[in-house]
Amino acid sequence: MLTLATPDGTTISADTDVELASKWLGHQHGTNWDAGVIPFDQHDAMNSTIEEIALMRDGSVSGYTVTESTPIDTATLARFVDAFTWDTAGDVATMLNCGEIDALVDLLRAAGAPDRAALWLERHADGDDEGDAHYLAADDQEAGR
């Protein structure tokens, strides 16, 4: 899904750059912008607008942004969270490096599972050495449990 945001707060979403270009032209010139326009001019307008959207996406047009999002099916996300259980954390978390555990923890939090994220971080920290990002000194471990 592509979303165009304008300086005045308008947002336009579409599945493709061609659809977004058509909607953007409709926003600027009215929904029937292409009525009475010869096909060559329609094609030219669409190509120019697709190029304009590409510049917005690259940040070259001040105040305008085009972002792309890929929504995740909630059932798939729930299945992911369910797969990363306490048992799995105990077996795997210490084997992950700090960057990998941070990415997993961020995803679990984003999936609405902050307790599961904390569990994975705690299990990972059990295997970290002094100087590692998630290392907990013995005093810290006792205070946290």
| Per-residue model confidence (pLDDT) at position 132 | 67
Are 59 and 78 contained in the same domain? no
Averaged in consecutive runs of 10 residues, what is the pLDDT profile of the chain (145 residues)?
A: 95 94 92 77 91 95 92 88 91 90 93 93 83 64 49
Are 81 and 140 contained in the same domain? yes
Are 81 and 64 contained in the same domain? no
* Exposed e or buried b per residue across 39-51, where buried means at least 16 C-beta atoms within 10 angstroms of its C-beta: eeeeeebbeebbe
Alpha-carbon 81 to chain mean position? 17
| Per-residue model confidence (pLDDT) at position 145 | 42
Query: Of 117, 127, 120, 112, which is closest to residue 88 (Cα–Cα)?
Result: 120
Are 6 and 40 contained in the same domain? yes
Identity of the amino acid at 143? A
Are 63 and 78 contained in the same domain? no
109: containing domain = 74-144
Are 137 and 83 contained in the same domain? yes
